[in-house]
A and B are shown apart, each in its own frame.
Chain A
Amino acid sequence: MAILSKDEAQNILKKVLSFSTADECEATLNGTTGGNVRSARNAISTSGALDNVSLAVESRFGKRSGVATCNEFDDATLRRCVQRAEEIARLAPENPDYVPLLGPQQYLASPLSFAQSTAGITPDYRAQQMAATLQLCEQRKLSSAAFLEDSAGFVAKRNNKGLEAYQQATDLTFSITVRTPDGTGSGYATADYNDASKFDAASLAKTAADKAAMSRQAKALEPGKYTVILEPAALVANSDASLLGAMMSAMDARSADEGRSFLSKKGGGNKKGEKLFDERVTIYSDPTHPEIADLTFAGDGRPRQKTTWVEKGVVKNLYSSRFWAQKQGIPDLPPPGGFIMEGGTQSLEEMIKGTAKGILVTRLWYIRPVDPQTLLYTGLTRDGTFYIENGKIKHPIKNFRFNESPIIMLNNLEALGKPQRVAGNLVPPLKIRDFTFTSLSDAV
């Protein structure tokens, strides 16, 4: 049931719209099927499966809007759902930010967002991938904890102004933490894909295991400003805040125009067009990119297209709601799904080779905002932090707390490596000078 074809989905949506008596009506179907398996202490700890399709109906009378949902699709249920949305709309206050629903739209094709290899995953496949990690860690007398989650789904949308959208997408995300039995070493690896045929849990387990073994008996360095090489997993993250993720999600035009963003300008207005970063910083989004193929329409039906957010250090675009774009007369850009930061060709190993003194950071953790004005964030290094000297990893070091702003960090850029996919984004490892560590942590 979870993945309806385009015709199946649009037929349900057409029926929904035929029941509507509202001025405007938009219906959205979302379906997901998938599963997960989790391990800890070298054993599977939990596993589960998910299979769900839900319909959301938005009805509007003038500037009043109501939304209702259901997850059964017989005529009587669909009719009730539409009626409920209309009842709620009639009771709702007028929305001063009202904009009419979108009419017909052209969407790009992004066929690689869906892979049958992922849609066809079975519980046995998940167990086998996990078993491979358990076996490797048992052989090396290390302890692992990991999580594998996969999903296949679709989104279909239709309204009475002529908008019609449909796309399928798949995702597989895996992460593993490997620890030494004495608790003095810990390593981490993560990866995510549209296409599960690229996934090999054992090789990621090996990376995490190698880091765990290498990170034993860490030495303490004094807190202060250091040159760091931040691996992609230290810049963006799946299940926690991240430095680059936080910066991208702060690129909203309205907050900037209202004066409460790092992009607000003294005296009013925003910093679009200003050079805020090192000229090697270019960040764009492209939902058709083969490595991070994504939905080509946003939740409100706006098309997602290739959009440059930062070019050669200059802020090129801010995203906004449709209401704010119309009010301000600015480009109507929805927020991106994943983003791509351009990098170089160097591998991580080559970047290490080119470093006289520095610190290699596998992962940053528990990142929280300290000051929204400067985008200052705090957090800690975790699961593999190493001292580099004369182009080589010299020894593991104890974890640090940092207080740093991605804006300052992207001005202190030394080098960019080859981008890798993390959490649906493509991000290069970055070498940064004067990264601010403010205290030591005993955590391993």
Chain B
Amino acid sequence: MGGVLVNPEQLLETIDPALKKRLADAALNAAKSAGASYADVRIGRYLNQYVFTREKQVQNITSTESFGVGVRALVNGAWGFASTNLVTEAGIVQAAKNAAAIAKANQRVQKEPVKLAAQKGYGEVSWKTPIERNAFEVPVKEKVDLLLAANAKALDNGASYVNSALFQVNEQKYFASTDGSYIDQDVHRIWPTFNVTVIDRATGKFRSRDAMASPMGLGYEYLTPRASDKLMGPQGTGVIGYKQRYDMLEDAALAAKQAKEKLTAKSVTPGKYDLVLDPSHLGLTIHESVGHPTELDRVLGYEANYAGTSFATLDWKAKGQPYGSKLVNIVADKLQPGTLGAVGYDDEGVKTKEWDIIKDGQLVNYQKIRDQAHVVGQQESDGCCYADSWSSVQFQRMPNISLRPGTAKLSVDDMIKNVDKGIYIAGEGSYSIDQQRYNFQFGGKVFYAIEKGKIAGMIEDVAYQANTQEFWGSCAAICDQSDYRFLGTFFDGKGQPGQVSAVSHGSSTTRFNGVNVINTARKI
């Protein structure tokens, strides 16, 4: 992320909302005077701190601040956007005038005027990620000590090399619009991670295992282990799942042992297998095969030149074809505590909510923002508009997209008992999917063979290939709420110029029957 490098203490500073309101009003008035029928302004302070280590040494510690204003104006049915890092009344008024001028220029080539779903103003409101410990208040030394302790655990357990990192983000966002909203938000995110490599010098073979941590919408409390947030994986795997708290030292030790075990694990025999997918893996499959194809801008063709379009077109949806089996219920939200998508309001002043995307295996809705709702005959935005910086224009981004857990009681061990020939996969690995989201291939961090209802040892060189509808159609069982966990990403990319966004995916361990597995071993 860009930004100006600052001292860590500067990350604790905040800006008075009264000052932000005065500046925002100046921008809104300037836009209206320039002919805008609607305008919004985002005064954003984006703070990041990254800590990088390898083995016994600190590689880099970076603290950055990016501060500025973005103004969007709707003039004669066309959008204009301009931004500035001059956060003064003069700077912000000029940005508003520039936005209106660009809108007028764009209006000359615009064929259809923008139709904006109505939105009530909320007055002066605020929202804050419900964190217990602000990561920026934690001394840098404590973070360095934690990463180096994790590295030591990995090295003690046989790692040849280990890199670790801690990413911390705070978005201080002030949004105001001509609808009468003045929204002050304080959003926090954190991501601890590492990569452990074990090398067998004699054979020249090397294997790695990354952290099982997920980026989360939490404070530093995520790094304080808690027994009630740990879930033991299937018997015979040693895999540990983490809910709202993560044990980095425990995971680093396990990663080294598993990376070592991968060196001698049996290579998979290609063929059809029943897959049992842990939430630390399944989240990415949900992201790619349900999250992206149900973004309405992709469906309509706005991403055709880069991220691609979608098989789940309006015509496809109208035909009522199944997206998956009757067990598949996918929900969108920007509410769930601890998730990366959780905010009070989106970046165009819409209060966030939860809504169904797939119900009983049928696609029932898309992800949309204020200027898209009319396309599908709806009256309101879903509240999933986002910009990754004050200098980026906001557009439709993926909310949390999650698979609802099974309603009947079912543990992972009980699920595996019924699998005759299968593979249990935990952790995200290699991932690739086509531009309309039909054909995908996924790897994982660790793979275990399942034979006659039991885990039968670690295997390697596994990737599964499937078609989105066939894959979700083969969904045969979903564990209950007690297994529900999140997997997220900080860096979901979309748009030209590219923007990133952070998003989480909740799920419980799920079984898919008869999926095609290939062997990825090669000789060079």
Does A408 lie within 8 Å of B524, measured CB to CB?
A: yes
A444 at the interface (CB under 8 A from B): yes
A127 at the interface (CB under 8 A from B): yes
B430 at the interface (CB under 8 A from A): yes
**Further pairs besides A266-B202, A378-B432: 8, Cβ < 8 Å:** A38-B305, A46-B79, A68-B6, A71-B4, A145-B304, A258-B199, A260-B208, A439-B441
Q: How many chain B residues have a CB neighbour from A under 8 Å? A: 69
A109 at the interface (CB under 8 A from B): no
Q: Give chain B residues whose Cβ lies under 8 Å from the Cβ of A439.
A: 439, 441, 465, 516
Q: With A375-B524, A378-B463 as known contacts, state yes or no: A149 contacts B305, CB within 8 Å.
A: no
Give the most central of B463, B496, B518: most A CB within 10 Å: B496
A-B pairs with lowest CB-CB distance, top 7: A266-B204, A441-B439, A145-B304, A443-B434, A145-B305, A443-B436, A259-B199
A229 at the interface (CB under 8 A from B): no
Interface residues of A in 254-279 (CB under 8 A from B): 258-260, 262, 264-268, 276
Does A145 lie within 8 Å of B302, measured CB to CB?
A: yes
Residue among A92, A368, A382 making CB contact with B61, cutoff 8 Å: A92
Residues of B within 8 A of A (CB): 4-7, 57-59, 61-62, 79, 81, 85, 102, 105-106, 109-111, 140, 144, 160-161, 197, 199, 201-206, 208, 300-306, 308-309, 311, 313, 393, 430-439, 441, 443, 461, 463, 465, 467, 496-498, 516, 518, 520-524
A177 at the interface (CB under 8 A from B): yes
Does B434 lie within 8 Å of A441, measured CB to CB?
A: yes
Query: CA separation between A310 and B517, bound complex, in Å?
Result: 35
| A to B contact number (C-beta, < 8 Å) | 193
Q: Give chain A residues whose Cβ lies under 8 Å from the Cβ of B203.
A: 266
Q: Can you list 29 A-B pairs, Cβ within 8 angstroms, ordered by A? A: A40-B304, A43-B109, A48-B393, A48-B497, A56-B5, A69-B4, A84-B7, A88-B7, A96-B57, A145-B302, A147-B305, A149-B496, A258-B160, A259-B201, A260-B208, A266-B203, A266-B204, A367-B432, A370-B443, A371-B461, A372-B208, A374-B523, A376-B522, A378-B430, A380-B439, A403-B518, A438-B441, A438-B518, A439-B441
Query: CA separation between A96 and B55, bound complex, in Å?
Result: 12
Does A93 lie within 8 Å of B306, measured CB to CB?
A: no
A67 at the interface (CB under 8 A from B): yes
Q: Give chain B residues whose Cβ lies under 8 Å from the Cβ of A36.
A: 496-497
Query: CA separation between A442 and B81, bound complex, in Å?
Result: 37
Does B85 lie within 8 Å of A71, measured CB to CB?
A: yes
From residue B130, how far is it (CB to closest CB) to chain A in Å? Answer: 31
Query: CA separation between A408 and B160, bound complex, in Å?
Result: 28
Closest to B463 in A: A370
| Category for how many chain A residues contact B | 35 or more
Interface residues of A in 425-444 (CB under 8 A from B): 438-444
A399 at the interface (CB under 8 A from B): yes
Query: CA separation between A183 and B208, bound complex, in Å?
Result: 41
Does A374 lie within 8 Å of B204, measured CB to CB?
A: no
A176 at the interface (CB under 8 A from B): yes
Does A407 lie within 8 Å of B524, measured CB to CB?
A: yes
Residue among A41, A366, A376 making CB contact with B433, cutoff 8 Å: A366
Does B301 lie within 8 Å of A145, measured CB to CB?
A: yes
Closest to B443 in A: A370
A122 at the interface (CB under 8 A from B): no
Does B436 lie within 8 Å of A442, measured CB to CB?
A: yes
Q: Give chain A residues whose Cβ lies under 8 Å from the Cβ of B105.
A: 123
Q: Give chain B residues whose Cβ lies under 8 Å from the Cβ of A365.
A: 308, 434-435
From residue A146, how far is it (CB to closest CB) to chain B in Å? Answer: 6
Q: With A93-B144, A177-B304 as known contacts, state yes or no: A259 contacts B4, CB within 8 Å.
A: no
Does B201 lie within 8 Å of A443, measured CB to CB?
A: no
Give the most central of B313, B434, B516: most A CB within 10 Å: B434
A45 at the interface (CB under 8 A from B): yes
Q: With A47-B102, A442-B439 as known contacts, state yes or no: A376 contacts B520, CB within 8 Å.
A: yes
Give the most central of B300, B393, B522: most A CB within 10 Å: B522
Q: Give chain A residues whose Cβ lies under 8 Å from the Cβ of B467.
A: 442
Interface residues of A in 370-419 (CB under 8 A from B): 370-376, 378-380, 382, 399, 401, 403, 405, 407-408
Does B204 lie within 8 Å of A265, measured CB to CB?
A: yes
